Structure 1
């Protein structure tokens, strides 16, 4: 599938931009979710380019971490998408340098405990992971504090490189 098949309307972008950075990014993210069916696997990976995957990765990261931290992000299957792809490097290139460092720090914990963090578990075992992996706590707190700034940095990058994220019609 060619990149140019991901098209967003200029009107939607303008409306999103007027509503703020979250709404602006949502125009792209909604389109990526539509194209992939909200599922990231070997069938849907080729449907998006690296820039689009990075933005979609940030969407999943933000949604999962804000709701249930790194444990939830990983338990819901997004560990490989975030930590095995050049997501952290891309965030640095997008201008979110401190966030990039935070991802690398989380990756160290993930890599060291991957099998345990990704294993199927009961609700009780899942809840116990929050105590077991308190190492994530400071990173989660830091992300919560900086989320607006990070989102603003990403929105600014997208705004300056629209062609990399979609064809505007």
Structure 2
């Protein structure tokens, strides 16, 4: 498998941009999920380029951390995707410097506790992790405070570098 040419409709982008930053970014990430069949693994990694993976990683990060924090992000299998790839560096290059620092701080906790954080567990053991890893709480609160600003930074970067994220195709008249 190799990187696929990912296209998005100019009309869909215009419409989504009118609705907001989240919707604008979702046009791209929905296509990435479609191309990968919703699976991010060794078989589908080559289908996207690094910038596309960064944008998809940001969406997954927002969804997982927003819903259940870093423990959920890691338990759902996204720890390596976020922390063991150049996600934080790419976010810094996109202008999200404070967010990048937050990801590096979470990565340090992840690396020190990876085996425990990734192990299979029961629902009760999963819930107990929230108490054991309260060290994530401050980072989650900081992310909640900065999420809108970070999303704006990411959306601006994508808008200024569209060719890195997809080929924009004109709709047939």
- Fold shared by both chains (TM-score > 0.5): yes
Distance 1:50 1:62 in 2: 18
Distance 2:137 2:39 in 1: 27
Distance 1:135 1:2 in 2: 38
Shift of 1:38: 1.1
Length-normalised TM-score, structure 2: 0.96
Contact 2:3 2:46 in 1 (8 A): no
Distance 2:57 2:139 in 1: 17
Shift of 1:2: 4.1
Structure 1 match to 2:128: 128
Deviations 1:98-126 (A, max 9, x none): 00000000001000000000000000000
Segments of structure 2 that go 5 or more residues without pairing to the other structure are none
1:35 paired to 2:35: yes
Deviations 1:94-151 (A, max 9, x none): 0000000000000010000000000000000000000000000000000011110010
1:158 paired to 2:153: no
Distance 1:70 1:22 in 2: 21
SS in 2 for 1:168: strand
Structure 2 match to 1:50: 50
- How many residues align? The count is 168
* Pairing of 1:139-158 with structure 2 (within 5 A): 139-158=139-158
Structure 2 match to 1:99: 99
Distance 1:132 1:118 in 2: 14
Distance 1:2 1:133 in 2: 37
SS in 2 for 1:152: helix
1:68 paired to 2:102: no
Shift of 1:160: 0.3
Segments of structure 1 that go 5 or more residues without pairing to the other structure are none
Deviations 1:71-101 (A, max 9, x none): 0000000000000000000000000000000
Distance 1:89 1:19 in 2: 29
Length-normalised TM-score, structure 1: 0.98
